Structure 1
Amino acid sequence: MTEYTGLEIAVVGMAGRFPGSSTVDEFWEKVLAGEVGVRRFTDEELDAAGVSAERRAEPGFVPMGGALDGIEFFDAKLFGYSPRDAAVLDPQQRVFLECAWHALEHAGHLGGGREVGVYASASVDTYLLRHLWGNPAVPGGLQPLDLLLANDKDTLASRVAYHLDLTGPAITVQTACSSSLVTIHVACQALLGHDCDIALAGGVSIRPPVHEGYQHTEGGILAADGRCLPFDAEAHGVVAGNGVAAVVLRRLEDALADGDTIHAVIKGTAVNNDGASKVGFTAPSVTGQARVIRAAHDLSEVDSSTIGYVEAHGTATPLGDPIEVAALTQAFVHPPQACAFGSVKALIGHLDAAAGVAGFVKAALAVREGVVPPSPYFTAPNPETGLEDSPFFVNREVAPWPLEGPRRAGVSGFGMGGTNAHAVLEEPPSPEPMPPTRSRHLVVLSAASEKALQESRERLAAHLAEGGQELADVSHTVRTGRKVLRHRLAAVVGGQAAGDLSEAWTGSGDRRDVVFLFPGQGSQYAGMAAQLTAEEPVFRAALDECAALLPFDLHEVLADADRLTRTEFTQPALFAVEYSLAKLWEHWGVRPSAMLGHSVGEYVAACLAGVFSLPDALELVTARGALMGALPGGAMLSVPLGADQLDLPEDVSLAASNAPNLSTVAGTFEAIERFEQTVTGRRLHTSHAFHSAMIDPMLGEFAALVSRIGPRAPRIPFVSNVSGTWITAEEATDPGYWARHARAAVRFSEGLTTLVAEPVTVLEVGPGNVLTTLARQHDLRGGTALGSLRHPREDKHDLDTMLAAAGRLWIAGVSVDLGALTADERRRRVPLPGYPFERARHWVDLPGTAPRPIEVVEVLPQPAEVVLPQGDLAVVTGIWQELLGIARIGPDDDYFELGGHSLLATQILARITAELHVTLPAGAIFEAPTPRRLAARIDELRDVEPAQDDEFAALLAEIRDMSPEELRAELDRERDAQEISQS
C-alpha cells in the first residue's frame, strides 16, 4: 500500500481538445489505437487559409499539421459576449474558456464554494496579427484597447476567473514549450501554500490559420514529410499542432475527504533553467534537464527505479532527442529494470504552450489505467540516442505496466530558452466504498437554453443507461458541482424508476419567495412520513425532539390508525410531523417568507415564528387536543359553496372558509343531519364539531393556559385564521386570541388571498395535499402550489414527493441548498457528460479570402409581431444593433444580457451624443439598460434643460473634437463627480 507524505496533489478533473479528438476520452482511445491526429489538408482548406498555388508548388512545402477544427465556433451567449466582441476574441481564449468549464465540470467543482486558482498559458496570438490588424472586415467601432483586451495573453487566466466566478489567484505563465507543465508546477505550489483550495492548470495553442501547412528547411526543426517520429532512426523533426487541455488539482487529503474521483496523484514537480551552460539560447542542455528530473524525484521521495514510464518532451529533432535520453540516463540514479518511453507529439504534433499539459494528461491516464500507450510508428532507435544501452525502450503496441508496485510515470517539458519542468505521477488510490443510505435521489440539470437543456438530459440519460456509477454519486455531483443556469430540469431517480430521466420537470422560473401552508386535523393518516423518519436524519432528529416532550409514545401513535382518529393524539402528532418537515426544509435551505396554517396548523407557524417555544407549543397543542377530545362529539360537513353563499341555521356554524366555492360547517350530529338534507355536501371524518359553538366550554381554561405560558411577538410574518389577514403582535401575544382561534371560523381562503397578493411559490408542509388542492382554486398570480408528503392513497415513497418538491421549488426559482440534501452522507463526485455548448460562428476571415459574414444572432427571443421603433428609440436601437453586432434588438432587451460591457457603453453614449444632441451621464446605461428606458432618459434630459441650446452646441462641438480615449476619460470623471456628490 502506498504511503503518502501529505505533500501530494490529486488530479481530480481533466478536459481537452486535440487534433482528431474533441474530448479526453476520445483522445485516450486514439492514443491506445495509435491513431495520428496530424493530417494532410485539403485544397479547400488550404484555399481558406490563404495558401496560394505558387506557395504550394514551392520545394519543401508540407501541407500537413495537427489542426484543431471548429475554432471559429464559440458559445458566445453562454459567456455573455455580443457577436461583435466574440468575433475579435482570440480563439485561444475562447477555446480555453470552454475547456476550463469542462475540466471543472469533470471534477465536479464548477459549482463554486471554494477558492479556485487559475494557472494558464497560451501561444503567440496569430489571430490578432493575421486576421484582425488592418483587416477592413473587422467590426466597426472597435478601439485598439478593445482588441488588446480580447487578444493579450495577460488576460487569459483572468478571463476564466471572471466568467467562471473563480476567486483564487489567476496567473498566466509563459515559458515557451514548457509553459503548461510549468502551470501545473505553479498550481501545485499554490495548493501546498494554501493560496487556493482547487487549482485549474493548463494551456492552449491555436495559431490561425490552422490549415496552412509549413515550409520545411534543411537543418530546421520541422519535419520534411509531416511525420513526427521521436527517438526513431528516421526522426527528422517535429510537426506543428494545435490543441488545448486543462487539469483540475487538489491537495490529496482534501480530495480524499471530499470524495473526489482521483485520476492520478502528483508526487512532486520541479522547474529550473539551463542558464548559460549550453551552445546557444535555443539549444537544450543535458545538465539542466538532468537536474530538473533529479529534483522532481527527490521532492517526490521516489526511487527512480520504481518509474515505469516517461512521457518525454520528444521533439524528434537530431539535437533534442539524444540530449533528452542522455539527461534521463543521468537523472535516473537507480535505473529501473525497464522503463517505457513515448511522446504524444508523434500523434498530435507539437502543441507549443499546450504541449506539456497534453503529455501530462496522457501520462495521468496511463497510470490510472495501468497500461503503457503505444508508439506504432517506431521502427528502430535513433543510434545517436543510445537507447539500446539504456533501461528505456519505445514500445510499438499497448503493453502492461513493466514494473511491480505502484504505477509511476514521469512527464518532461522543456522550453526554448531553457526553462525545464518535470513531474512525477502515481496511480490513484483505490476509492473508498460509499454505499447509498437513501433509496431516492434528486438529479438536477440546468442550461442557458431549452435546446442545451434537452441535449444535457439526453447525454446524461445515455450515460446512466451504461451503468457503473451509483445514482447517489451522480445526484451528488450534478447538485453540487455544476453551474446553475436559467433553464432547469429536476427528476427523482432510484426505486423502480432507477436512472430514468423521462419523468422530469422543467422550467425557468424567476427567483421568488416561498410561503408555507400547514394543514389541520383531517389530513393525518397512519404511517405518515414513516419513510422520511427512516431515511432522513434531520427529520428524524426533529421528530424525536418532539416525541421527548409529549406524554405518549409519538412513534407508536403515528403508526396506529385508530389512535390517530382521537383528537388528543391527532393534534400533537400533526404538529410534530409538520414541525419536523419545516425543519427539514429549513436544513435544505428553504425558508418561508410568510406562513399560513389551517386551524391547529397555525400553531406550527406560530412556533416557527417564535411566538411559542417548541416545548410551549407542544404543551398547548396537547392540552388543546385533550380539552377538545373531552367535549361531546359532533359532525362536520364540506359544502361546495363559498362562505358568503351559505344560509346557515342557528344550530350550524361556519367552521372554515376554504376556497371561493368550498366551505366547511359544523354542529351537533342532529343539526348537521338536518342541514345535509338542504345542500349537497360530504361528511368529514372528524370526531368533533371544531370551530363551532360546541367548543365554547373549553375556551376559558385554554385561555388561562396560554396566559401562563406567555406568547411573544412573531419574528416571521404569518396570516391569522381568525381575520384572514396578517397577524399583529398584539393578537399573537393575547391569550384571548388563541381562545377565539379555536372557536372562530378558519378564514383560510381569505388568508390565502392575503398570502399570495404578490407572486410566490406555495408549499404545503404536512401530510397529503388538501391545502395544495385548495390553493390551486385561488389566483396564485402565476405561482406554483406543491406538497411535501404523499396523499394516503398514493403508492409513492415519501422521498419521491419530498425530493420532487425540492426540485420543482428549485426550478421555480426558490432558494434551495441542493448540497444540503445529503449533507449528512459522504458521497463521491464522479465524471459525467459535459455541458453541450451551443457554438455559433464568430470569426473574421483572412484579408484577401472570400469573406463569410460574422455570425449575427438573436440573443433574446422576440415577439411574433415586431413593431418597428420610432424617433429616439429607433436611433438608440440602431446604435445598439451596430455596435453589438445583433440584427434584431427589442425595446426591452437588456444591454448586459446582450453581451454589452462598460467599455462599449462609452462608445454608445458618444454616438447618442453625436446623433441626438443629448449628453447622457456616464452611468446612463447602467441606470437604463434597455433601449426603451434609455430613450425615455433622453426625453427627460431634453425636458429638464430646454433653453441651453447654445451651451449644448458648444459642448457637442467639444465632444466631436475628442478622441475616444479622451471622451472615455471625461465620462469617467463625470461619473466620479456624480458619485462624490451623491455620497
Structure 2
Amino acid sequence: MNETVEPIAIVGLSLRVPGAASAEEFWRNLVVGAESLTRFTRAELLARGVPAEQLDDPAYVPVAAVLDGVDRFDAELFGLSPRDAELTDPQQRLFLEHAHAALTDAGCDPARYDGEIGVYAGGNADLYQWLNVRRNPSALADAGELRVSLGNKPDYLASTVAFRLGLRGPAMTVQTACSSSLVAVHLAAEALRSGECDTALAGGVCVELPHGVGYVADEGYTSADGHCRPFDADADGTVYGSGVGVVVLKRLSDALADGDDIRALVIGNAVNNDGSAKASFTAPSVTGQVEVVTQALAVAGVAPRSVGYVEAHGTGTVLGDSIELAALSTAYGRRTAERGWCGVGSTKANIGHLSAAGGVIGLIKTVLSMRHRLIPPTVNHDRPHPDIDIEASPFYVVSTLTKWEPEDQRPLRAGVSSLGLGGTNAHLVLQEAPPRVPPEPDHGGGELLQVSAATPDALAAACARLAERLTGGPDVGLRDVAYTLREGRPAYRHRAAVVAVDRARAAAALTDPKRRAAGDAATPPRVGLLLPGQGAQHPGMGAHLAATEPVFAAAVDECAAILGWDAGEMIFDAGPGADERLAGPAVAQPALFAVEYALAALWRHWGVTPAAMIGHSVGELVAATVAGVFDLPDALRLAAARGRLVQAAPEGRMLAVQRGADEIAPLLPDGVAVAISNGPHTCVVGGAPEPVAAAEVLLRERGIGCTPLRS
C-alpha cells in the first residue's frame, strides 16, 4: 500500500434502494439473490395514471425499480414547514434524511463535533418542479420562484444538507451523470487528505419521475423484458431505478484516534474523462477507462493481483459492458498472465441502474461484502455475452454466493467503478478495515443507555431499533453503545433511558414501556437527592463505582486526603475487619460523608442538578455542603469530630417501631425513650442496649412490629 497517501476510512453509511430501507435489508437481499424490481398489471398502471395508448405500445415494459417512502418525509425534524416539504424535490428530501442517518450511523453529532464536515453530493435532474410544482399555478404563485428554486435545483443539494445539519465544511453538488456519486466520494477523499475538512459526507440520489411506472424500451439502451443482465448473453439493456446512498469518510489516523467503527478503507481513487477519442459523446472509451483504473491502482500502491473483486458499472448494455470489461482486463491483467482469478459483478442486476446514486450503492455493496467476507451473486447471469471474452480475462462473473477466497488472504481488496454518460470515469480501490480491537468486557455494574427523538412515536421506534441492534447486530460492548448514544447522538426533545448490565437485558427494557424511563425535555423532571445517615454504611461501599467512574473516585480521594485516610483501606475495603471498623461512628460518619458527597458529584457530572436535597444525620451535612453552606474541608472536619463525639458517648441502641410516638411512649420501660417521630404511625425509640432489648421483647409480645437499627 502507498505509504505517502493516507487511506480514507468509511465510518458510517446509510441507504434506501428498491426492496431495502437499510443496509442490513440490502445485504440480506443481495445474499439471497433477490431481484427487487416490480412488475405491474395493466390495471395498476392505469390507476397510476399511465395513458392506455402508452400501455398499448408493443415496446412498453410494465416494470420499475420502485423506491418505497418517496412521498414521506419528517419535515419537523429538519426545521421545514409542511408547505416547504411539499415544494421540495424528493431527491433533496431523501438525501437530507440519509445524510443525517449516515452521521448518526457514524456516531457523529455535528453540534458537538469539533472539526469541519464537508458534503459532496450528486443527484438527477429536477423533474419534480416541472412535473408537479409548476403544473399548479396557484401553488407556484403562492410560493414564489425563489422558494421553488431553492427546494428543487440540483445546485442546492449539498448546501441544503450543510444548512439543515449545521455543517461548516465545503458543500459541493457534483454533476457527472451516472458517475456523480462515486466522483463525489473521490472529491471528498481528496478534500480530507488536503485538510479542507475533517469528516465528509459523500453520495448521491435519484428519484425517477413519474415514479413507479414502466417505460418504453429503447433497443440496445433499456431492457425489452424488464431484466437487467450485466455481462450476460441475453443482455439487451438496463432498467433505471431510484435510490439514495451516503457514506461518512474520515482520514484513517483520525478514525483510529476517535475509536470509530471502520467499515473499509479507500486506499486509491482516481477520476478522468474519455475526451474525444471515442465514437460519440455517449459512447464509452476503453482507453479512458484503462487509464482511470491504472491511476487508482497506482495511488493505492498495490498490485492488481491483490484485488479479489471488482464491482463494475455493469449496466447490462452490450456495448457498455464489453468495453468496460475490456478496460478492466487490460488494467488488472497488466502484470499477470493468470486468468479467472478476480470476481466481477454489478448490483444493477438486483435493483436497476440508480443513475447518480449507482456508484455509491456499488461502493456500499462492496464494503458490506468485505465485512462479511462474502461476494453476493450477480443475478440474471447464465453465460457470458459472446462480445465479452471473459475466458481470456483475469475475471469471472460472480453468479453464486461466493466465499471470498483464499480464506487467509489479508487484507481483502476490491475495486469499484462508475462511468458517466459523457465520459467522466471514476475508480476506487478499497481495502478491508484494519482488525477491530475486541470490545472491553462489560464491567457488570450497569450502563445508562440514552435515546432521544423529535416525537414520541419516533422515540418508540428508535428504542425498538436499538433493541434489535443489541440482540441481532455485531458484538459490541454495552459500554461502547452507551458512550455512542451519549456522545454521538443529537439530543432531541423526547427522551428515554434504561440501565442494564448486558445487551439482552438492555433490549428487553428498551421494548418495555414500563421498564424504561421516559420524559419530555421541554418539561424536565425535578430531581431531589435523599442522603441517609449512619446505618447505611457497609463494607466495600462505593468500591465498584470508584473502579468504573473516575469522577466518583476523584471525589472520594479528595475527601480521603482531607481526612488523612487511604480510601481503599478505610472506605472501599470489604475484607476481614471491615465490618467492625465501619461499625464505629468515628469511621462510619466521615466515610458515609465521602461516599455521599462523591455520589452527588457524579450526578452533577452526568448533568443532573438537584432541585432539592434532604438529608438525615450525616446526610444533612452532605446536603448542606453540596448546597454551598459549608466548604468541603470544614464539613469533613465537622463530620469527623461528630463521629468521634458519638463514639465517645455511652453505647446505645435504636428500634424502628410501627406505631406513632404518642401510642408507644407509655409502653416503654425505664431507660428507653422516643428518639424520633417519623409520622403518625412510625417512630424510633432509643436507649442503652439492655433496656432497648427489653423494649423489643415487650413490643413484640403486644404484636407491635419493630426492627433494630444499625447504628
User: What TM-score range do you get, normalising by the shorter chain?
Assistant: 0.7 to 0.9
Aligned equivalents of 2:128 and 2:659: distance in 1?
74
Gaps (5+ residues) in structure 2?
690-708
8 Å contact from structure 1 (residues 118, 199) kept in 2: yes
- Give the superposition deviation at 1:499: 4.2
Gaps (5+ residues) in structure 1?
650-668, 689-791, 794-983
- Partner AA of 1:291 in structure 2: E
1:438 aligned to which of 428, 434, 443: 443
- Give the superposition deviation at 1:680: 6.9
Is 1:200–2:201 an aligned residue pair?
yes
Match of 1:851 in 2: none
- Give the superposition deviation at 1:199: 1.8
Is 1:87–2:86 an aligned residue pair?
yes
Match of 1:579 in 2: 597
The 3-state SS of whatever aligns with 2:151 is helix
Aligned equivalents of 2:567 and 2:384: distance in 1?
80
- Give the superposition deviation at 1:293: 0.8
TM-score, normalised with respect to structure 1:
0.62
Aligned equivalents of 1:82 and 1:17: distance in 2?
24
- Give the superposition deviation at 1:423: 0.4
Is 1:179–2:180 an aligned residue pair?
yes
Match of 2:545 in 1: 532
Match of 1:155 in 2: 156
Deviation sequence 1:540-596 (CA, Å, 0-9, x none): 233233223325555555454554454432332222112222332343344568867
Match of 1:428 in 2: 433
Aligned equivalents of 1:522 and 1:578: distance in 2?
12
Match of 1:330 in 2: 330
2:520 aligned to which of 499, 508, 513: 508
- Partner AA of 1:315 in structure 2: T
8 Å contact from structure 1 (residues 311, 412) kept in 2: yes
User: Is the alpha carbon distance of 1:40 and 1:685 closer, same or farther for their aligned partners in structure 2, counting shifts above 3 Å?
Assistant: farther
Aligned equivalents of 1:428 and 1:400: distance in 2?
18
- Partner AA of 1:524 in structure 2: A
Deviation sequence 1:237-282 (CA, Å, 0-9, x none): 2221111111122222332333322222111211122223333332
Q: How does 1:287-298 map to 2 (within 5 A)?
A: 287-298=287-298
User: Is the alpha carbon distance of 1:589 and 1:436 closer, same or farther for their aligned partners in structure 2, counting shifts above 3 Å?
Assistant: farther
Aligned equivalents of 1:518 and 1:72: distance in 2?
51
- Partner AA of 1:448 in structure 2: A
Is 1:493–2:500 an aligned residue pair?
yes
Q: How does 1:390-409 map to 2 (within 5 A)?
A: 390-402=393-405, 404-409=409-414
The 3-state SS of whatever aligns with 1:582 is helix
- Give the superposition deviation at 1:296: 0.7
- Partner AA of 1:65 in structure 2: A
Aligned equivalents of 1:19 and 1:634: distance in 2?
78
Aligned equivalents of 1:555 and 1:395: distance in 2?
62
Match of 2:70 in 1: 71
Aligned equivalents of 1:193 and 1:493: distance in 2?
43
Match of 2:147 in 1: 146
8 Å contact from structure 2 (residues 657, 685) kept in 1: no
- Give the superposition deviation at 1:40: 2.4
User: Is the alpha carbon distance of 1:566 and 1:386 closer, same or farther for their aligned partners in structure 2, counting shifts above 3 Å?
Assistant: same
Is 1:480–2:487 an aligned residue pair?
yes
Aligned equivalents of 1:183 and 1:687: distance in 2?
83
Aligned equivalents of 2:658 and 2:634: distance in 1?
37
Match of 2:232 in 1: 232
User: Is the alpha carbon distance of 1:468 and 1:374 closer, same or farther for their aligned partners in structure 2, counting shifts above 3 Å?
Assistant: closer
User: Is the alpha carbon distance of 1:589 and 1:674 closer, same or farther for their aligned partners in structure 2, counting shifts above 3 Å?
Assistant: closer
- Give the superposition deviation at 1:682: 1.9
User: Is the alpha carbon distance of 1:237 and 1:603 closer, same or farther for their aligned partners in structure 2, counting shifts above 3 Å?
Assistant: same
- Partner AA of 1:325 in structure 2: L
Aligned equivalents of 2:229 and 2:531: distance in 1?
76
Match of 1:277 in 2: 277
Aligned equivalents of 1:498 and 1:46: distance in 2?
47
Match of 2:388 in 1: 385
Aligned equivalents of 2:639 and 2:606: distance in 1?
27
Match of 1:10 in 2: 9
The 3-state SS of whatever aligns with 1:328 is helix
8 Å contact from structure 1 (residues 9, 266) kept in 2: yes
- Give the superposition deviation at 1:488: 1.7
- Give the superposition deviation at 1:297: 0.5
8 Å contact from structure 1 (residues 49, 209) kept in 2: no
- Give the superposition deviation at 1:142: 1.6
User: Is the alpha carbon distance of 1:675 and 1:247 closer, same or farther for their aligned partners in structure 2, counting shifts above 3 Å?
Assistant: closer
- Partner AA of 1:119 in structure 2: Y
8 Å contact from structure 1 (residues 518, 602) kept in 2: no
Aligned equivalents of 1:682 and 1:202: distance in 2?
70
Q: How does 1:846-885 map to 2 (within 5 A)?
A: none
Aligned equivalents of 1:687 and 1:571: distance in 2?
21
Aligned equivalents of 1:675 and 1:197: distance in 2?
63
8 Å contact from structure 1 (residues 96, 203) kept in 2: yes
Match of 2:253 in 1: 253
Aligned equivalents of 2:602 and 2:40: distance in 1?
61
Aligned equivalents of 2:688 and 2:516: distance in 1?
41
User: Is the alpha carbon distance of 1:197 and 1:241 closer, same or farther for their aligned partners in structure 2, counting shifts above 3 Å?
Assistant: same
Aligned equivalents of 2:457 and 2:157: distance in 1?
29
Is 1:519–2:522 an aligned residue pair?
no
1:464 aligned to which of 448, 470, 474: 470
The 3-state SS of whatever aligns with 1:383 is coil
Identity of aligned residues (%): 47
Aligned equivalents of 1:546 and 1:675: distance in 2?
30
User: Is the alpha carbon distance of 1:554 and 1:98 closer, same or farther for their aligned partners in structure 2, counting shifts above 3 Å?
Assistant: closer
The 3-state SS of whatever aligns with 1:406 is coil
- Give the superposition deviation at 1:623: 3.1
Deviation sequence 1:708-761 (CA, Å, 0-9, x none): xxxxxxxxxxxxxxxxxxxxxxxxxxxxxxxxxxxxxxxxxxxxxxxxxxxxxx
Deviation sequence 1:105-155 (CA, Å, 0-9, x none): 323334752233222111012211112212257487221222111112122
Deviation sequence 1:76-116 (CA, Å, 0-9, x none): 33333333222222111122222223322323334752233
Deviation sequence 1:613-668 (CA, Å, 0-9, x none): 644543343234334554567899999999xx99xx9xxxxxxxxxxxxxxxxxxx
Coordinate RMSD, CA, aligned: 3.6
Match of 2:32 in 1: 33
In terms of fraction of residues, the more strand-rich structure is 2
Is 1:299–2:299 an aligned residue pair?
yes
Q: How does 1:858-937 map to 2 (within 5 A)?
A: none
User: Is the alpha carbon distance of 1:536 and 1:381 closer, same or farther for their aligned partners in structure 2, counting shifts above 3 Å?
Assistant: same
Number of residue-to-residue matches in the alignment: 665
8 Å contact from structure 1 (residues 10, 264) kept in 2: yes
8 Å contact from structure 1 (residues 127, 207) kept in 2: no
Aligned equivalents of 2:227 and 2:422: distance in 1?
25
Deviation sequence 1:402-459 (CA, Å, 0-9, x none): 5544221101111122211110111222211122352111122222222332233333
User: Is the alpha carbon distance of 1:494 and 1:599 closer, same or farther for their aligned partners in structure 2, counting shifts above 3 Å?
Assistant: closer
The 3-state SS of whatever aligns with 2:211 is coil
User: Is the alpha carbon distance of 1:605 and 1:415 closer, same or farther for their aligned partners in structure 2, counting shifts above 3 Å?
Assistant: same
Match of 2:695 in 1: none
Aligned equivalents of 1:379 and 1:632: distance in 2?
96
- Partner AA of 1:125 in structure 2: D
Match of 1:830 in 2: none
8 Å contact from structure 2 (residues 183, 271) kept in 1: yes
The 3-state SS of whatever aligns with 2:249 is strand
- Give the superposition deviation at 1:182: 0.9
Is 1:98–2:110 an aligned residue pair?
no
8 Å contact from structure 2 (residues 104, 489) kept in 1: yes
